[in-house]
Amino acid sequence: MSLIRNIQDDGLGGIQHNAITAKIEDLVKWSRSRSSWPASFGLACCAIEMMATGAAHYDLSRFGMEVFRASPRQADIMIVAGRVSQKMAPVLRQVYDQMMEPKWVISMGVCASTGGMFNNYAIVQGVDQVVPVDVYAPGCPPTPETLIHAIETLHQLIEDGHLMKRRAESGAGANVHVQEIAAGAESIPVLIGTR
Amino acid sequence: MSIVDTIQAGDDAQQGLKPRSELTARELMREVGSVLRMSEAEAAQLGGVPVDPAEDQTMIINMGPQHPSTHGVLRLMLELRGEEVLRCKPVIGYLHTGMEKTGENLTYMQGGTNVTRMDYVSPLNNELVFSMATEKLLGIDGDIPERAVWMRMLLSELNRMSSHLLFLATNGMDIGAVSMMIYGWREREEVLRFFQKVTGLRMNHNFIRPGGVAADLPAGWRDDVLQLLDLITPRLEEYDTLMTGQPIWRERLQGVGVITAQEAIALGATGPILRSTGTAWDLRRDMPYLHYPELEFDVIVGSYGDAFDRYAIRLNEVRESMKIVRQILDRMPTGDYRIQDKKVTPPPRARIDESMEALIHHFKIFTEGFKVPEGEVYVAIESPRGEIGCYIASDGSATPYRLHVRAPSFVNIQCMPHMLRGGFIADAVAVISSVDPVLGEVDR
Amino acid sequence: MSDASAIAPDEAVPASEPPSMHGSPLTESCGQTVLHPTREQYVGVVRALLDEGYEMCVDLTATDYLLMPERAMPEGVAGARFEIVVNLLSLSARQRIRLRVQVPADDASIDSLFDLHPGTEAMEREVFDMFGIAFTNHPDLTRILMPEDWEGYPLRKDYETGTIPVQFSTDFAART
């Protein structure tokens, strides 16, 4: 049936919209926003603040997010908390690719958003060069209130339906295409910073 | 062709993992305990399949860098026989930020913002060692006002408390006492609230600066600290009861991750790891800095060198830090919170409107920075993880020529292969947690 | 470096020798003792210090003095491009000592201290990674902080910081 085939391909965007399916859509979006589980990707100082946000005082559990899933397969949101170094960038991409659709990314802190105070050879200047980002949370580190605001913004965007399924052809929405290099092939020298 | 090119180009330079029968005696001696010397490319090629089926079925498995228990982005390549860990290689560099290179471009006033993000769990200690090294080069280390010194000690000890509370929380969670995570963070929030009141930030404060501290303590700080101590003291007893006597806790930590005193000293380990082996070495008492000789506190020493000792040492160090903070509360002197040398510390903001000279000094200090005489110095203090040292080589300009921070976790991680040998993977989690590395300072 | 001695000027006083320890010149820097062994003397001096009680090698790092060729050195010691800085600690005597060894740019290699102080393994790897100084007899001299296939040695002075120009960023070149 064409309804089912469209959903498989395009997610919610593929439903033939009518009065009945609109209610189902709303229900699906509401439930997604109310129980999105983060994948633990804490890297540096922002990870400490992220853990503080999950702890008793600021409590992410009231947003349904206290379970930080270790396995990316079971996670919905990836909160990139901390500075991403050149060595870590492929790992980041790999973990993002392992997450199942629908998935969202919050870039927490200035180092993840733009490279932060470390404008040098070692840090990727903005994690959106590697994965598509939905919400940026500024701060060094962002206080738990800022992170909660970012999470709530994301939840609102999910609930309003502004973030639909990303297509594989467009590089998961960011026009980022990652080329796998076969193991054992000639290593490609990295020349950033050399004269 | 220089020796560097030989190493990079030659095929014999690849650290292949030969079968044990082919290892020479010299190599075996070096392998005592367990360091897996194999490059990452080799390990990737092996892909976890044993090369020679006639050999013992050992498998090289990767743990991390994205892992819930590795305390940050630490990657461990473990050689396993079944569940037993034979050799291990910690692979680091996933958080390398080029801080030492960035530090060469920042003035000494800005250097604190850089250095504080290395050990992000105890940032004030990083700033303190950097400021002390700068002051030694400037020659003003004897002229820091009393109040500034005592404030530094107060903040440093409170930071030690918050760092050890984080250790208790993460250690608890790694062993399985997940509620400890919530309790530890709850206590930490109290200390961070005090820090926010004093320094303006919960973390990465850039508060301890060359010349003193950035601002004075706010009114009512004594009450805040007393409230903090009164809150934490009984709760610490609860955690002691929750964990120390508990049979599961003891089973999981006693005898796990043992290291001897000679191994620890040979590997350069300091801090709770060295103290757990029975060596009573604490820089606050043995090579004192600031006004620690005037305070009374004990140095907690273990006897078995295992993970339980390290846990107990850190728990009791929280108590000792609270003792120190109470003494500082009573003895905090009045006075300046930073040295009055106009070339080093900026003038009070109010004076900028009145005096042209103050405005010029402020401008010069914050844009060009103050110049530090040529020389080189190494200063070390006791951070919650061990000896943190700062080596600065100056060329007489406003930025350091070479800034190097001797990070305790970087050296402590070398102990891990020796601690993990012969244990299970579950013990690996407990051991990593007991070493308490902070990857920000490991990779810098 | 001759020290002033309170002897009558008509007495013949031999010029006193510069202070040294284990055959290497000794200087003071901000109240800290610094030894300057040559590359050949290096391991011998560390072994002698180890026997004397300096059991722990606290830190091993390097500096690239490419932009500071005219720096203050004790007499008899010629400054080279690279300098290995080793900090040793004696727990029993509660003393530190620092060694500064000159390493020339065209032959950037030096002996490894691994056999005396196994804790230098990671530190020497970091120096190799950041400066390109090779350590002979090191068990595993590979990059530790940068990816294994990185080219270039980041902490050398002729390696750019890699700052991407952004609006209003500080002109760091103007500072040096």
| Tens digits of residue pLDDT in C90-99 | 988 899 999 9
d(CA C150, CA A85): 13
Q: Which among C154, C158, C169 has CB closest to A121? A: C154
Sheet holding B75-81, edge to edge: B59-63, B75-81, B84-91
Residue range(s) defining the domain that contains residue C24? 20-175
Inspect the interface and report whether the beta carbons of A115 and C160 lie closer than 8 Å.
no
Provide the shortest C-alpha distance from residue C5 to chain B (in Å).
27
Q: How do B59-63 and B386-394 pair as beta strands?
A: unpaired
pLDDT in the model for residue B177: 86
| B56 — pLDDT class (breaks 50, 70, 90) | low
Q: What tokens does A148 get?
A: 């909660």
Q: Is residue C3 part of a domain?
A: no
pLDDT in tens, B71-86: 888 888 888 888 888 8
pLDDT mean across residues, chain B: 85
The answer to whether B341 and B209 are in contact (CB under 8 A) is no
The C-alpha atoms of residue B256 and residue B311 are separated, in whole angstroms, by: 12
Over 90: is that where the pLDDT of C123 sits?
yes
Please report the pLDDT score of residue C11 as a whole number: 44
Range from A142-146, B341-345, C69-73 that averages highest in pLDDT: A142-146
Provide the β-strand partners of residue C134.
Answer: C109
Q: Which two tokens stand for residue A48?
A: 């400490």
pLDDT tens digits, C4-29 = 344 444 444 444 567 777 778 888 88
Inter-chain contact B401–C145, Cβ cutoff 8 Å? no
Q: Residue B79 forms beta bridges with which residues?
A: B60, B87
In chain A, what is the straight-line distance between the N-terminal and C-terminal CA atoms, in Å? 60
Residue recorded with tokens 């580190």: A141
Q: What is the pLDDT of residue C117?
A: 87
pLDDT digits (tens, 9 = 90+) for B378-421: 999 999 999 999 999 998 888 999 999 999 999 999 888 888 88
**pLDDT band of C75, cuts 50, 70, 90:** confident
CA distance A91 to chain B (A): 8
Nearest CA in chain A to B196: A143
Closest residue in B to C155 (Cα–Cα): B101
pLDDT at B310 over 60: yes
Contact state of B113 with A88 under an 8 Å Cβ cutoff: no
What's the pLDDT score for residue B41? 64
* B254: closest CA of chain C, how far (Å): 25
CB B152 within 8 A of CB B170: no
- Output the pLDDT for position A6: 55
* pLDDT in 10s for each residue of chain A, 195 residues: 455 555 565 556 555 666 677 777 788 888 888 888 998 788 999 999 999 998 888 988 898 888 888 888 999 899 999 999 988 898 899 899 888 878 899 999 999 998 888 888 889 988 988 888 989 999 988 999 999 999 999 998 888 876 655 555 555 545 555 566 665 656 555 544 433
- Side-chain half-sphere exposure of B196, counting CA atoms within 13 A: 9
* C81 touching B (Cβ < 8 Å): no
Structure tokens at B400: 């350091």
Q: Judge whether C55 is closer than 8 Å to chain B, CB to CB.
A: yes
* C164–B contact, CB cutoff 8 A: no
Q: For residue A187, what pLDDT is reported? A: 58
DSSP string, B412-437: HGGGHHHHHTT-BHHHHHHHHHHH--
- Rounded Cα–Cα distance for residues C6 and C136 (Å): 49
Q: Give the pLDDT of residue B43.
A: 61
Q: How many domains does chain C have?
A: 1
Let me know: does B110 contact A117? Beta carbons within 8 Å. Answer: no
Burial (0-12, 13-18, 19+ Cβ within 10 Å), C50: middle
Fill in the amino acid letter for C54. Answer: Y
Q: Which of A119, A189, A195 sits opposite C158 (nearest CB)?
A: A195
Instruction: Determine contact, residues B203/B192, Cβ cutoff 8 Å.
Output: yes
The pLDDT score that the predictor gives to residue B358 is 83
Q: List, in order, residues 6 or more apart from B89 with CB less than 8 Å away.
A: B35, B36, B37, B38, B76, B77, B417
- Whether residue C6 lies inside any domain: the answer is no
State percent of chain B over pLDDT 90. 44
Per-residue pLDDT at C163? 79
Percent of chain B with pLDDT over 70: 87
Note the pLDDT of residue B382: 94
What pLDDT is stored for residue A190 in this prediction? Answer: 52
Express each pLDDT in B199-228 by its tens digit.
999 999 999 999 889 889 999 999 999 999
Residues of A in contact with B93 (CB under 8 A): 85, 87
Range scoring the smallest mean pLDDT among A159-168, B299-308, B395-404, C147-156: A159-168
pLDDT of residue C5: 40
Among A86, A119, A193, the residue with its CB nearest the CB of C147 is: A86
Top residue of C145, C146, C151 to mutate, by most chain B CBs within 10 Å, is C145
Tell me which of B138 and B37 has the higher pLDDT.
B138
d(CA B325, CA B295): 10
The predicted structure's pLDDT at residue A180: 63
Q: What is the pLDDT of residue B272?
A: 93
B113:A117 CB<8 A: yes
The answer to whether A76 contacts chain B (CB < 8 Å) is no
* Percentage of chain C lying above the pLDDT 90 cut: 25
Least confident of A96-100, B3-7, B47-51, B269-273: B3-7
- Cβ–Cβ contact C111 with B under 8 A: no
Token pair 């820091």: residue: B144
**Rounded (5°) CA angle B372-B374-B379:** 75
Question: By percentage, how much of chain C surpasses pLDDT 70?
Answer: 84
A15 and A164 Cβ atoms separated by less than 8 Å: no
C-beta separation of A79 from A108 below 8 A: yes
Q: Is B42 exposed, middle or buried (0-12, 13-18, 19+ CB in 10 A)?
A: middle
Rounded CA separation A22/A32 (Å)? 15
Arithmetic mean of pLDDT, C155-159: 90
Residues of B in contact with A120 (CB under 8 A): 97-98, 101-102
pLDDT given at position A162: 63
pTM here is 0.85
Q: Residue C105 domain-assigned?
A: yes
Q: Is residue C70 part of a domain?
A: yes
CB contact under 8 A, B39 and C142: yes
Mean pLDDT of B243-269: 88
The mean pLDDT of chain C is 82
- Rounded CA-CA distance B122/B164 in Å is 9
**Which chains contact C through at least 3 pairs of Cβ atoms less than 8 Å apart?**
A, B
Q: How far is B314 from chain A (nearest CA, A)?
A: 19
Looking at the domain assignment, is residue C8 inside a domain?
A: no
CB C108 within 8 A of CB B3: yes
Q: Are A109 and A142 in contact (CB under 8 A)?
A: yes
CB B131 within 8 A of CB B208: yes
Size of interface B-C (CB pairs under 8 A): 144
The owner of tokens 């010397």 is B37
Instruction: Compute the distance between CA of residue C121 and CA of residue C135 in angstroms, rounded to an integer.
Output: 10
Beta strands at C134-136 and C109-111: parallel, antiparallel or unpaired? parallel
C36 contacts C23 by C-beta, under 8 angstroms: no
Q: Which residues numbered 99-158 in C keep a CB inside 8 Å of some CB on A?
A: 146-147, 149-152, 154, 158
Q: Among the residues of B176-243, which ranges form H helices?
A: 178-199, 221-243
Chains linked to A by 3 or more Cβ pairs within 8 Å: B, C
In the numeric block, the tokens 């993970």 are attached to B307
pLDDT value, residue B1: 41
pLDDT band per the 50, 70, 90 thresholds, residue C86: very high
pLDDT score of B11? 39
- Residue contact A115–C150, C-beta within 8 A: no
Mind telling me how many Å the CA of A54 is from chain B's nearest CA? 9
Alpha-carbon distances of A89 from A5, A44, A192, B66, C70, rounded to whole Å: 35, 14, 15, 12, 41
Per DSSP, the residues of C79-130 read: --SEEEEEEEEETTTTEEEEEEEEE-STT-EEE--TTT-TTHHHHHHHHHHH
Mean pLDDT of C63-67: 90
Residue in A115, A119, A194 closest to C151 by CB: A194
Rounded to whole angstroms, the Cα distance separating C120 from C61 reads 10
Q: What's C102's domain CATH number?
A: 3.30.460.80
Distance, in Å, from the CA atom of C78 to the CA atom of B281, rounded to the nearest integer, reads: 37
Structural domains for chain B: 3-91 (no CATH), 99-443 (1.10.645.10)
Query: B157-197 pLDDT, tens per residue?
Result: 999 999 999 999 999 988 888 889 888 899 899 999 999 99
Is there a cis peptide before residue A141, judged by omega within 30 degrees of 0? yes
Yes or no, beta carbons of B440 and A141 under 8 Å apart: no
- Whether residue C130 has pLDDT greater than 70: yes
Q: Which amino acid is at C156?
A: R
> Looking at the domain assignment, is residue C38 inside a domain?
yes
Residue C15 lies in a domain: no
Q: How confident is the model at residue B35 (pLDDT cuts 50, 70, 90)?
A: low
Let me know: does B321 contact B157? Beta carbons within 8 Å. yes
Length of chain A: 195
C-alpha–C-alpha distance, residues B421 and B346, integer Å: 53
For residue C21, CA distances in Å to B413, C90, C97, C102 come to 33, 16, 11, 17
Give the number of other Cβ atoms within 10 Å of residue A26's Cβ. 12
* Interface predicted TM-score of the whole assembly (ipTM), two decimals: 0.85
The DSSP call for residue A93 is: H
Taking the Cβ of residue C159 and every Cβ of chain A, the question of whether any pair is shorter than 8 Å is answered with: yes
